[in-house]
Structure 1
Amino acid sequence: EFGGIDVVVNNASAIDLSRTRDVSMKRYDLMADINVRGTFLLSKLALDALLASSNPHILTLSPPLNLEPRWAGIHLAYTMAKYGMSLTTLGLAEEFRAEGIAVNSLWPQTLIDTAAIRNLPGGEQIVNGARSAEIVADAAHAILVRPSRSCTGNFFTDEGVLREEGVTDFTGYSLGAAEDQLVPDIFL
């Protein structure tokens, strides 16, 4: 309807950090459905339009595949859902490398002030050690303007991307905490 699709951003995600015996199957199914199935389905349905683009990108907000056992041990259901998104990045990047569709993941280096964080128990206090969402937006833009044929299969962090772009001062993204008081995000 709008003449094509150049970029797909898989940002939808459900979160439940409960331990295995505490997570309900309804919440498990929701995370699997939104995080993994949603990422795969949206990407799949956009492929034909992306192939017609001169610089096609799929960017998924998911972590690097860190197989350190502690991440699965803390919140297995959520870890599987997020890593399913990351596996989608890995697979699609390889499958569509020759066709020139860039497929990458982006993850924040520190916590980001989001509704999901604020809705967690103690979330209003947690966001004091977070950065604003603008850092992720700026990093996403920097990735999405790169040539798709030479930028695929990466698991970027927001801070890492911006450092590659020459940014050295991140204080403008802070919500007030000093850089050494920011809370690192999970999976890193």
Structure 2
Amino acid sequence: MKGRDNPHILTLSPPIRLEPEWLKPTAYMMAKFGMTLCALGIAEELRDDGIASNTLWPRTLVATAAVQNLLGGDEAMARARKPEVYADAAYAVLAQPAKSYTGRSLLCEDVLLEAGVTDLSVYDCVPGSDLGLDLWVDSPNPPGYTSH
């Protein structure tokens, strides 16, 4: 990646939370937090080379096979956002200047708002639904956000 125009590493892992409720299930937490710590460490190691390393995670459930099959079937899917929320946020991160946009644990919805998206409800699988929170976050939208 050295010498490339805008090199980025993007790890799909959650922000580090150390409050007791985020520390279980232990094995899953260790795997996810390990990924995040690795990405943040790589950011520091590669900072001088201009290579960015960040993490990205959704605030809400994203409609995936795991949500469908493990977290509640159609009901959980109705409380999820479309996978495009992740794809669009990843694109927004990768479009940032690698030399200055590195070492961050990001949430999809925050990234999209920062990129100028004004209505996150376009990503809802069922418009107006009560969104399900992802395991690693405590609010479905950034503070102050209201849908249009």
Of 35, 41, 48, the match for 1:85: 35
Larger relative contact order (Cα-Cα within 8 Å, sequence gap ≥ 6): 2
Higher radius of gyration, 1 or 2: 1
User: Aligned with 2:116: secondary structure?
Assistant: coil
Find the aligned partners of 2:26 and 2:19 in 1 and give their Cα distance. 12
TM-score (structure 2 length as normaliser): 0.87
Match of 1:107 in 2: 57
8 A Cα contact 1:129 1:177, kept in partner: no
8 A Cα contact 1:106 1:140, kept in partner: yes
Find the aligned partners of 1:100 and 1:120 in 2 and give their Cα distance. 40
Higher fraction of helix: 1
Match of 1:137 in 2: 87
Q: Report the number of matched residues.
A: 137
Find the aligned partners of 2:46 and 2:114 in 1 and give their Cα distance. 25
TM-score (structure 1 length as normaliser): 0.70
Find the aligned partners of 2:41 and 2:17 in 1 and give their Cα distance. 16
Match of 1:34 in 2: none
Find the aligned partners of 1:183 and 1:144 in 2 and give their Cα distance. 27
Q: Which runs of 5+ in 2 are unaligned?
A: 138-148
Match of 1:45 in 2: none
Match of 2:68 in 1: 118
Find the aligned partners of 1:148 and 1:90 in 2 and give their Cα distance. 14
Which runs of 4 or more aligned residues in structure 1 lie more than 3 Å from their structure 2 counterparts after TM superposition?
A: none
The offset of 1:71, in angstroms, is 1.7
Q: Which runs of 5+ in 1 are unaligned?
A: 1-49
* Identity between Structure 1 and Structure 2 (%): 50
